[in-house]
Amino acid sequence: MAKMVRVLSTLALKGAVGNLAARFETEGGARIDADFAPTLALLERLRGGEGADVVILTKQALDDLAAQGTVIAASCADLARSFVGIAVKAGAEHPDIATEAALRATLLGARSVAYSRLGASGIFFTQLIARMGIAADINARAKIIPQGFTAELLVSDAADLAVQQISELKLVGGVEVVGPIPREMQRPAIFSAGRLAASNNVAPSDRLLKFLASPEAVPALRESGLEP
């Protein structure tokens, strides 16, 4: 029986990891047992003693764990860049978000904007609307979820706009991604993977990490809305 590699991954990589894990297993790699949550939630679980073999987090979080010795530094690999985008319910008009002025008007004109409290996108959006001076106006009508997929609130008509990593928006059916928030207004999140020092599955974990960072993984990353 093939070994099982336990993976804790940020939500932004859920689509790509799901596709790549199936291929890895089919091609003779270990079985993958993956669980997905925002980086901050995963860090809390790791601090609480939860075990795993491979973790996929924001680069900064992974680097911090490597500096502490929790993750093997030599195993770490950058996998993808991710931009925060905006989605609407399928069939709805796509608003203009091409410039800062257009984005401001679109956000202020929405009945409600959905975003996440945890995760790179939620932290970024909170800081963005504060810098734009519209935080009070947006938050008075916002739907802020603790974690999960913000685009689900579009399907239920609880919000007009959903803000999250594009790769996360694309995982929800019945919605359409309008596009990224203007790139000059954001710094892409970089997601990286590494092996936990406490892992007993060194060889299969390292094979998985090599596969995730290989050219073979690029199509799945792009299809999920990420940039290798």
pTM of structure: 0.87
How far apart, in whole angstroms, are the C-alpha atoms of residue 67 and residue 50?
A: 19
Residue 83: which pLDDT band, with cuts at 50, 70 and 90? Answer: very high
Average pLDDT, the chain: 95
Judged by DSSP in three states, 112 sits in: coil
Domain ranges of the chain: 4-81+189-223, 84-185
Rounded mean pLDDT of 11-34?
A: 91
Is 142 a residue whose pLDDT tops 50? yes
Q: Which two tokens stand for residue 111?
A: 């009945």
Judged by DSSP in three states, 100 sits in: helix
Rounded mean pLDDT of 13-38?
A: 91
Domains 4-81+189-223 and 84-185 share a fold: yes
Assigned fold of 84-185? D-Maltodextrin-Binding Protein; domain 2 (3.40.190)
Residue 161: which pLDDT band, with cuts at 50, 70 and 90? Answer: very high
Share of the chain above pLDDT 90, in %: 89
Residue 1: which pLDDT band, with cuts at 50, 70 and 90? Answer: very low
pLDDT at residue 134 in the model: 98
pLDDT at residue 225 in the model: 94
Q: Which two tokens stand for residue 219?
A: 């199509």
pLDDT at residue 27 in the model: 85
- Provide CATH code, domain 4-81+189-223: 3.40.190.10
Is 2 a residue whose pLDDT tops 70? no
Rounded mean pLDDT of 87-104?
A: 98
Residues near 60 by beta carbon (within 8 Å), at least 6 away in sequence: none
How far apart, in whole angstroms, are the C-alpha atoms of residue 43 and residue 103?
A: 32
Rounded mean pLDDT of 2-18?
A: 91
Rounded mean pLDDT of 135-157?
A: 96
